[in-house]
Amino acid sequence: MATKKTNTTKKNSLLIVESPTKVKAIKKFLGSGYEVAASNGHVRDLPRSTMGIDIEHDYEPKYITIRGKGDVLAELRRQVKKADKVYLATDPDREGEAISWHLCSALKLDEADAKVQRVTFNEITKNAVKEAMKHPRDIDMNLVDAQQARRVLDRMVGYEISPLLWSKIKRGLSAGRVQSVALRIIADREEEIDSFIPTEYWTLDANLIAEGEKKPLVAHYYGVGNEKKEISSKKELDEICKAIEGKKFVVSDVKKGERTKKAPLPFTTSTLQQEASKALNFSTQKTMRVAQQLYEGIELGKEGTVGLITYLRTDSTRVSDEAVAAATDYIVKNFGDKYLADGTGPKKNEGKIQDAHEAIRPTYIDHTPVMVKDYLSRDQFRLYQLIWRRFMASRMAAAKYETTSVKIDAGEHRFTVAASKTVFDGFLNVYTDDEDQIEKNVLMKNLDTSTKLTLGSFESAQHFTQPAPHYTEASLVHDLEALGIGRPSTYAPTISTIMARHYITKENKSLFITELGQAVNKMMMEAFPQIVDVNFTSNMEALLDGIAEGDVKWKTVIENFYPDLDKAVKAAEKELEKVQVQDEATDEICELCGRNLVIKYGPHGKFLACPGFPECKNTKPYFEKIGVSCPKCGKDIVLKRTKKGRIFYGCIDNPACDFMSWQRPVSKKCPKCGGVMYAKNNKLACGNPECGWVEDKEKAKEE
């Protein structure tokens, strides 16, 4: 990539950034020879009213000035005229590169002119900004083209498919290249949970008393000899207890060992979103908003505005040599040499890394959370503390545990005890998570094969296997990243979009698909299977990376994609002519005007409305009967929705009858215990897990 030679001390220089928040700090770093102005993000985009892509002429995008940006551009043009040099310092990623390119066009600048130069910095600090000004370069058209390709692909999918959703389900809906796949992933998990049939199992613990000890030793049942055995029923449990009855408990083996727990890597965008969700209960959107504030700069009293963290959109765990040196000095000074990492550093990033950024870290190690707390809001402080501690931990030594594994035999049956004790806390001194337990099951000091044990009591418990958990924002981000769907900049807006469209809802931390989301996902799966295919979307991300690296031409990706999309849309339009989801007529009469009410989709699912709108605005809740009688009172079971749109099944006579279920009940009673049966995909299962009756749905129909 060409580097432009320039005299950076020349007067009358203009530096353009994205955010007005950065202006004050950067102006202070550069001094009187520079003016600093902000573009307030994008200045040009595709029009909203049309697709904005000339299909007939090499898929050329038709960019227009974004509404409301006229005054900003007029002021920038005025400053450009006065400047001898123009530095484009938008964010250091594909989106930022594209904004710089659009600025050239909007400000009538020639990007090849020596007057126009691109600079990037990963943090808003004096050293980073000064260093960036020494290395200006040309606009990287590979990065611009990667952003253009993403924008055009997303526009094509949204513009072509969304009208079908409007005509068949509800106006205002949208489809998206990434959002539709994210919705499908959540829908698949919900189906997996609904289809799950629990399996019974039991645990057995022996409370053993060692000679001379007051506290009992709790040993867990393992199996027969070295063969592990699951206890699947009460009958099996009783047989094991009977076999052990009267047997001596003998310590057959005691093994000591050491286990280490490596320090975590510093944060990437994905891991920051996941950890902030788990530790701080932040949504992905909130995490990015607060991190942006920390990156752009906080007023720290006499120091002025200081950017507290490095750039927040990154796939990388790389850390600069200067930051490593600063962290090393801090750790040695405050904790001692033994707390220093062994020098291996973070492991190499796997897969495609979008840009050569650093990990997310504090810009100045000496700005400890305690030092800056008074200048931060509560949310800013909590997120900064998380980032600071995670980075410090990443440069510290591993934690070490002393482990003890004990085998105890009673006849042929074996019990085990596992214990661990921290011998060196290492990075845990500054950073722990839910999985980090300093000590568990501390054993008596002199336990060995000569220790005499007597049985105090047995403790047994019945359990049932659990389905996969509902997605949270954290686990969804984890899976999107693992599957190669989207990039750091897309996780938060993707989740926010499908939530804003009411395709999913959040209760506590869990995400659930709504009835509206199910309808949209069903249509996408049937009409556009390729768009919601995980592998297809992941491969498309790889192609976008190829464009950014200069290996793939962006127009080639578009011209290979669009014809298939257009063909699928035309086929779907023809197929869906016979499908009418919206405005299904009912037998219920509008009491205001006498028309037959119709079924419509609202933000949270179906409702009844008068087709005479706007003359008649009558609406009513829609209770969809499922053809099953309430097991408590015999009236109809209907499909209902929580206030946030999550589907459940309840009695139509509520609140007089309180029957409700997240699972869909069926009319057939359990042939084994007479209990309520529920549909589990292609199976029917008894709602009483202790009964455990399961049968094929097709077989039940034949009966």
- Show which residues are catalytic: 311
Q: How many contiguous H segments (helices) and E segments (strands) does the chain have? A: 18, 31
Q: Which of 302, 552, 252 is nearest to 416 (CA)?
A: 252
- Contact (Cβ atoms closer than 8 angstroms) between residue 411 and residue 242: no
CA distance linking residue 58 with residue 79, whole number of Å: 35
Place of tokens 């710089």: 100
H helices of 425-553, in order, are 473-482, 491-500, 515-527, 534-548
- CA 43 to chain CA centroid, Å, is 29
- Contact (Cβ atoms closer than 8 angstroms) between residue 311 and residue 417: no
Q: Virtual CA dihedral for 34, 35, 38, 42, nearest 10 degrees?
A: -70
- CA 208 to chain CA centroid, Å, is 45
Query: What is the chain's length?
Result: 703
CA distance linking residue 676 with residue 662, whole number of Å: 13
DSSP string, 95-125: HHHHHHHHHHHHTT--TTSTTEEE---SS-S
Which residues are CB-neighbours of 610 under 8 A, at least 6 positions away?
590, 592, 593, 595, 597, 598, 616, 617, 618, 619
- Contact (Cβ atoms closer than 8 angstroms) between residue 359 and residue 310: yes
Residue 235, classified by CB atoms within 10 Å of its CB into exposed (0-12), middle (13-18) or buried (19+), is exposed
Residue spans of beta strands (DSSP E) within 368-483: 399-410, 413-424, 452-464
DSSP string, 208-242: EEETT-SSPEEEEEEEETTEE--B-SHHHHHHHHH
CA distance linking residue 38 with residue 43, whole number of Å: 11
- Contact (Cβ atoms closer than 8 angstroms) between residue 381 and residue 298: no
Q: Is 651 helix (H, G, I), strand (E, B) or coil?
A: strand
Question: Pairing relation of β-strands 298-299 and 305-306?
Answer: antiparallel
Angle separating helix axes 554-575 and 141-168, nearest 10 degrees: 0
Q: Which of 498, 504, 493, 472 is nearest to 605 (CA)?
A: 504
- Contact (Cβ atoms closer than 8 angstroms) between residue 600 and residue 607: yes
Angle separating helix axes 491-500 and 179-195, nearest 10 degrees: 70
Half-sphere exposure of 464 (CA within 13 A, CB side): 12
CA distance linking residue 312 with residue 291, whole number of Å: 7
Q: Is 179 helix (H, G, I), strand (E, B) or coil?
A: helix
